[in-house]
Structure 1
Amino acid sequence: MSEMQIQSVLQQMRALSQAGRIEGSAPVAAVKEPQAAGSDFASKLHEAIRDVNEIQQEATGMQTKFELGDNNVSLPQVMVAMNKSSIAFEATNQVRNRLLSAYQEVMSMSV
């Protein structure tokens, strides 16, 4: 991976990080993508978790290849993949925490 590609990925990660810090703003994907007929929250959540798992598996695979001495995998590629994996997992964890908080708030409401 060239230095230009690494800088591009880092710039995208910073932009996503800044977008995630703004409280009350809608996610970029939710604004750009209209809801398709028949797509529900559970399927979207399942798809997102599956995507995070794929990112983690790719990062682990690249790490293993690098450790075994594969010349096609460089250290910067492994580090970027591991950071992507870490950020994806942390974002998923934050969504889970917010869902749990919302669920607890709804359950504590008096009817």
Structure 2
Amino acid sequence: MTDAISSILSQIRAHETRARDDAPASNAIGAIGGPGGVAAPGFQQTLTKAIDKVSQTQASASNLQQAFEMGDPRADLARVMVAMQQSTVAFRATVEVRNRLVEAYKDVMNMPI
């Protein structure tokens, strides 16, 4: 299970790297939202996109499963099973990220001032 989570986290990091590489090049001031530059996507935007992607994966798997149950010849069992496993892994990774964020929040809140 830990290997699967590590794999998903590395995929998320690779996706972030690709997203940063696809962003238009700007100077250092523009990268932090200064004048003349485009601000890099923040944590909230990145998290929202990741959650939306998980939701899309689950919806796609559900639609494929329903098509298989209805007898659609394009929805074979192997594709349905792979889609269901992908949505399960994506959901578990999202839950793990949430758990780690909650732990980090608790750690910060318990820090002495």
Tell me the amino acid that sits aligned with residue 17 of structure 1. A
Q: For residues 1-111 of structure 1, what are the structure 2 equivalents within 5 Å?
A: 17=4, 20=6, 27-31=13-17, 33-34=19-20, 36=23, 37-111=39-113
Identify unmatched segments of 5+ residues in structure 1: 1-15
- Kindly tell me the number of residue pairs found equivalent between the two proteins: 91
> Which 4+ runs in 1 deviate beyond 2 A?
26-38
Quick one: structure 1 residues 31 and 47, their matched pair in 2 at CA, closer, same or farther if it must change by over 3 Å? closer
Q: TM-score, normalised by structure 2?
A: 0.71
Distance in 1, Cα, partners of 2:65 & 2:74:
12
Q: How many percent of aligned residue pairs carry the same amino acid? A: 38
> Displacement, 1:72?
1.0
Shift of 1:99: 0.2
**SS of match in other structure, 1:34:** helix
RMSD across aligned positions (CA): 2.3
Q: Which runs of 5 or more structure 2 residues have no equivalent in the other structure?
A: 24-38
TM-score by length of 1: 0.73
Partner in structure 1 of residue 32 of structure 2:
none
Secondary structure of the corresponding residue to residue 75 of structure 2: coil
